[in-house]
Amino acid sequence: MEVIWKAKSLPNEEQSKSLSNEINVSTPIANILVQRGIDTFDKAKQFFRPKITDLHDPFLMKDMDKAYERLKGAVDNGEPMMVYGDYDVDGTTAVSIVYSYFVTLNPNIEYYIPDRYKEGYGISKIGIDYAKEKGISLIVSLDCGIRSNELIDYANGLGIDFIICDHHLPGETLPKAHSILNPKRSDCHYPYKELSGAGIGFKLVQAYSKKEGFAEDKVMDYIDLVAVSIAADMVDVRGENRVLAYYGLKKLNENPSIGLQALIALNPGKKQYTSQDIIFGIGPKINAAGRISDATAAVRVLIETEYTKAVQLTRVLTERNDERKELDNDITKNAIEMVESSGELHSHKSIVIVGQDWHKGVIGIVASRMVEQFYKPTIVFSNIDGILTGSARSVKNFDIHEAITQCSEWVEQFGGHKYAAGLSIKEENFASFKQAFEAIVADNIQDESLLPEVEYDLEIDIDTVDQKFLNLVKQMEPFGPGNPQPIFYTSNLRCTGPRVLKDRHLKFQCLQSRGPSIDGIGFGLSEFYPTVSNGAVFQACYSIEENYFNGQVKLQLRIKDIKPAK
């Protein structure tokens, strides 16, 4: 599949040169910083050395004072409380933070994670009824609830108060909850709008501690969990999230919470954890609990205070993650075969498929894999007892949520955002929905949106890449939306010793002119073996990383794409 390469606009030469001199970095590093709006000494200082004092006052958030007063009353009176959260990484880390904090103040508290299969996403009637049975009169919901208007009305009728902590976009009318903490509500003037669900939970305990005069350390104990949520939920990593992620990663690497220690121990060769290690290492293990079975298994690990017990509990997550991988691989293979044999691959601009009894916990991952493989808006359904549950994933610049909205006459329920959504339809409506969805995609998608894209920061020579250069790049961590890992472009490359690993990955040493060689790895890029073989000259886009293997650390290029020489 052709990949479009796009160069970011180079900044003003004088501006880059001035910043390079001011902060004593190379011109390429200065160029990257200026491209990201970091163009003065003061901005660079704040970027490279964020301070905890840069965090905003939590009481700037609308309803924070009301939430504090309600929690204060509950704590003082030993009132039965519930901490309720979604089953993904953001939800389970948020629940772990708020539960762990308040259980030390009010032992009459429990946590609740809805069952993905019985209750679905967000607040459920089953969960509210459970709270009523247990005599619970206050629920703190995390990473969900902002659109649960009818369910909040139901809870109010049962005498249950809700404090909603959510970071998703509100609807036209807010639920009638006791208090709603969400920077995205139109009447909230909190200075930063992009907190994760766990980030809002963190601000809640920060506010409580501040008002009660507790030591700051009591709150900072949970900042590593916030960093995990920021990375896994792919929220913007500028502004306040940069401060939270920066210090959260610092704690993760120096003094992680017991549960995270146990998860880190599953990968003992790793010396330093980054956002990428959370996304591909810690995050999937936490997520696997809710994908395969009950997400409370993840919370049990994250709230555990005894290391030996936490290690034992991680075995459940490991087993479920292994099961998730097996299901993912099997269903993805079946899905690819289904698409390739359908005869629609070249005639359709979307992919809509259904499998019998495919595990609902992994169809979202499968949909993402299909986008990687075919780069078309994709919906993968699982048919269980005549009800089709689907996960939708999109490509650049195409709003898949809006496309589903336009054929909602065939849809029972749906929700999500521009690039990812979930939905359910009746079995008898599948053909009509598929036809309507394809028509909407074909009428609205631009041809360029059907080609994957690599956007690179700078063109550099391989000679530029050394440990000092990488150390400066690493100081730009944490990476994520708003501050992506820098990608570089180099032409006139050759390689030695190219080989294919596990039938999918391309491994080699590359060099430019007669300079030193450097290791390169292209995951899933085995198709380019002929392009780089027999001394052929090629060009590549890549990021730079450290590879830990057999106790050694070496520089490595993570290849994004390869093209023959111009």
Least confident piece of the model among 7-11, 180-184, 347-351, 434-438? 7-11
CA–CA separation, 7 and 9 (whole Å): 6
Task: Assign 3 to helix, strand or coil.
Answer: coil
Answer whether CATH 3.10.310.30 is correct for domain 342-450. yes
Asked if 224 and 254 touch (Cβ cutoff 8 Å), the reply is no
Please compute the mean of the pLDDT values over residues 38-65 and round it to a whole number: 96
Asked if 151 and 166 touch (Cβ cutoff 8 Å), the reply is no
At 169 the pLDDT is: 87
What strands, in cross-sheet order, belong to the sheet with 179-181?
Answer: 109-112, 81-85, 138-142, 161-165, 179-181
Token digits for 399? Answer: 């709003």
Residue 29 has pLDDT above 90, yes or no: yes
Token digits for 391? Answer: 């996960």
Please compute the mean of the pLDDT values over residues 6-30 and round it to a whole number: 93
Q: What is the 8-class DSSP label of residue 188?
A: -
Residue 513 has pLDDT above 80, yes or no: no
Asked if 138 and 69 touch (Cβ cutoff 8 Å), the reply is no
* Helices marked H in 171-234: 197-212, 217-220, 223-232
Residue 548 has pLDDT above 80, yes or no: no
> What's the residue count for the chain?
566
Please compute the mean of the pLDDT values over residues 515-519 and round it to a whole number: 85
Residues of the chain with CATH 3.10.310.30: 342-450
Those residues whose C-beta lies under 8 Å from the C-beta of residue 432, and which sit 6 or more positions away, are 410
At 514 the pLDDT is: 66
Asked if 360 and 116 touch (Cβ cutoff 8 Å), the reply is yes
pLDDT of 123-177, one tens digit each?
Answer: 999 999 999 999 999 999 999 999 899 999 999 999 999 999 999 888 899 999 9
At 232 the pLDDT is: 93
**CA–CA–CA angle 556, 280, 541 (5° rounding):** 40
CA–CA separation, 272 and 478 (whole Å): 12
Task: Assign 463 to helix, strand or coil.
Answer: helix
Token digits for 39? Answer: 């163009």
Q: What is the 8-class DSSP label of residue 349?
A: S
Closest CA to 245 of 194, 185, 299, 310: 194
Strand duo 109-112 + 420-426: pairing: unpaired
At 499 the pLDDT is: 95
pLDDT of 390-413, one tens digit each?
Answer: 999 999 999 999 999 999 999 998
Mean pLDDT, the chain, rounded, equals 94
Residues of the chain with CATH 3.90.1640.30: 58-254
Residue 418 has pLDDT above 80, yes or no: yes
In the chain, the amino acid numbered 9 is: S
In the chain, the amino acid numbered 316 is: V
Those residues whose C-beta lies under 8 Å from the C-beta of residue 357, and which sit 6 or more positions away, are 382, 383, 384
Least confident piece of the model among 1-10, 43-52, 266-275, 285-294? 266-275
Give the model's confidence band at 566: pLDDT under 50 very low, under 70 low, under 90 confident, else very high: confident
Please compute the mean of the pLDDT values over residues 460-489 and round it to a whole number: 93
Residue 262 has pLDDT above 90, yes or no: yes
Residue 416 has pLDDT above 90, yes or no: no
Task: Using a pLDDT cut of 70, give the percent of the chain over it.
Answer: 100
- Fold of domain 4-9+454-564: OB fold (Dihydrolipoamide Acetyltransferase, E2P) (2.40.50)
Residues of the chain with CATH 2.40.50.460: 4-9+454-564
Tell me which CATH code domain 58-254 carries.
Answer: 3.90.1640.30
Please compute the mean of the pLDDT values over residues 70-93 and round it to a whole number: 96
Closest CA to 565 of 509, 493, 499: 493
At 506 the pLDDT is: 96
Residue 28's region, left for phi above 0, alpha for psi from -120 to 50, else beta, is alpha
Task: Give 128-157 as a DSSP string.
Answer: HHHHHHTT--EEEEES--TT-HHHHHHHHH
At 426 the pLDDT is: 94
pLDDT of 103-119, one tens digit each?
Answer: 999 999 999 999 888 88
CA–CA separation, 90 and 93 (whole Å): 5
CA–CA separation, 14 and 11 (whole Å): 9
